[in-house]
Amino acid sequence: MTFCVNGMLQRKMNQTSGTGNNDTSNFEDMAARSIHILNYQATGYFLWLFICPLNVLGASTFILVVQNWGPLRSPTQFFMLNQSAAQIGASLFYLVGAVYNLYCYHSGMPAAMTKLNCLALMNYATLFIMISHSFLLCAAIDRFFACALPHYYTNRTARYVQSCLTGHKF
Q: Tens digits of per-residue pLDDT, 1-35?
A: 333 344 444 444 444 444 444 555 565 566 566 55
Q: What is the mean pLDDT of the chain?
A: 64
Q: Tens digits of per-residue pLDDT, 90-130?
A: 777 777 777 777 777 777 766 666 667 777 777 777 788 78
pLDDT(72) > 60: no
Q: Tell me which H or E stretch contains 153.
A: none
| pLDDT at residue 111 in the model | 62
Per-position b or e across 88-125, b if 16+ CB within 10 A of its CB: bbbbbbbbebbebbeebeeeeeebbbbbebbeebbebb
CA distance readout (Å), 54 to 18, 39, 133:
57, 24, 15
CA distance 61 to 55: 10
Q: Are 50 and 144 in contact (CB under 8 A)?
A: no
Residue 22 in 3-state DSSP? Answer: strand
